[in-house]
Structure formats: C-alpha cells, structure tokens
Structure 1
Amino acid sequence: MAFDRSGPRRPETAAAELDAYLREFRAGGYPVAQVVHAACARCGGSEFGVRVDDEAGYADRTCHSCGDRWVMLDAADAADAADAADAADAAEDIDLGDAACLCGGERFDVAVGFALRGDGEVRWVSVSLRCTADGGLGVYADWKIDYSPSGQLMARV
C-alpha cells in the first residue's frame, strides 16, 4: 500500500495507513489480529503527544486538545515509576522519552496492533504512531504480554 503524505491531515486516511502499517509490521513477528485507535475519553481528540520506554513496556499519551494524559495498555503498574522518572529522584528502571518524528513533529495519530494467541488472549502489542505533520509512520514501542487474562488491554489504548 502506498502511503499518502500529501495535503491536509485526514483522520480516515490516517487510520487506514496505521492499520496497514501495523499489519505489515507484524507485532513480535506474529500476525496482527486487531488494531485499536486511540481517542481521548475526555474530549474525543485524536492528536497526541506520546512518551514511551520500549524496554520497560511503557507508553502514555497526552491529548493535544484538552491535555488529558492516559497511561496505555498494561503500563499502569509502571506509571508510578514513570512519574518518579519525571522528578529529580529519577527511577533507574524506566527511561521515558518523548516520541518525535524525523521531521521534528511531536503530534501523532495513535494505534495499537494486537497479536493474539490461539485462545484469543493478547500475545504482543505494538504502539504505532503517524505524524500529523508529515504522515511519517513508525512503531515506537512493542512488548510481549505473557499473562492471562489480557483481553482488557484492547480497551486501554
């Protein structure tokens, strides 16, 4: 699929491009069974700033419309450590970084690809971003899910 990076941002195009990109990426080498797109629960916004730590399996997003911050997927247990990483007494086990596109853009459409096990539980997650400035796509974090039940993660994008 050719990705259209010209003209104004069109959310329907962004969603289709993220879906195709995640399916081609193959979360953890496994086929992506489902893609879930992020939307702000407070205002419905769809452009976010994103912080990640791929090693710790952490991602959060902040809505550019209303400023609401959401800890994604199963990173809630790392949220306390992430908050400490923002303070002067930084936690050693988490290294948060602001996601940025090669063009310098820091506003993104966000989607997560889910690879599933045979029993329908989540095997792997991949956090993909599409830059709203130039349409650039990338997977900024992905990690293995090795516990059950895990289906609730699809509601935590």
Structure 2
Amino acid sequence: MEQILTYISNEIMVLLVAAMPLMELRGAIPIGVSLGITPLHATILGLFGSMIPVPFLLLLLKPIFIKMKKHPYWRKLVDWITKRTLRKTEKVHKYKSLGLLLFVAVPLPTTGVWTGAIAASLLNIPFKQAFTAIFMGNTIAALIIMTISHVAVNL
C-alpha cells in the first residue's frame, strides 16, 4: 500500500512541477524519470500538468494586466514582463500561430507554455489558435525531452 501511495505522490509531484512557471515539462519529465516513472508516463503527466494553466493564462492574463497597470507598483512589473516577453517572441509576432508553436516546441528555459501564453495574450492571438499552437509545440517539446530522458536512463 505504501508503494502505491508513493507512486501516486510521485505522479502528483510531476503534474505540479509541470504546471509551475520556469520548470514546466522540461523539468517535470526528468524529475519523473528520476523518481522511477517510465519516460512515456512521465511525459504524459508532464504534458497534462503543463497545459493546466494555459486556458487560465490565455483568458485571464490580459484583464489582470490591465487592472495591475492602474497601480504604480504593479505597473513596473507588468511593463517588465511585457517587454521581456515581447523581446523573446519576435518570431511569434511575425508568424503568429506557427511562430507560437515553434517557440514553445524548443525545449529551452523560458520558451515554454507560460511565456507562450503570455505572448499569445499580448499579441491578441485568438484563444483557439493560441491553445492549439501551444499544445502542439508543448507536445513536440515533450517528445524531445522524453527522448533525451529515455537515452539518459539507458546509458
């Protein structure tokens, strides 16, 4: 029974790590594999977990940013996030959904679903297009990370 609870706890940990900004599935899959979860299972958990915040970010980010900009303290933070995101997502601006897909697909730090969702929101990419592009890009990134994790485990 204790083994089952540990396994479930490990799965929940992978889901939660995947939903966190910065870590996302790029950290969740290797963590899952290091905890004894198979690369495929860790990938599915990581992909699902990392997509949890996306609809909320796409729907709520712009209204929250508008409210935050009304206060001087929060305005600086919103301006910093906006400038940083737009600087990193020039290709997304040019190619819209395809650029967003490619941006999220590259498994490097700060190119994941959080930054992609922020960029989509700031660039007014419609929800359905943005969600689809982010999901597809995230799936590609997940497959790349899964392959690397699988190779690392079998060395």
| TM-score, normalising length: structure 1 | 0.27
Q: Which of the two has greater helix per residue? A: 2
| TM-score, normalising length: structure 2 | 0.27
Q: Which of the two has greater strand per residue? A: 1
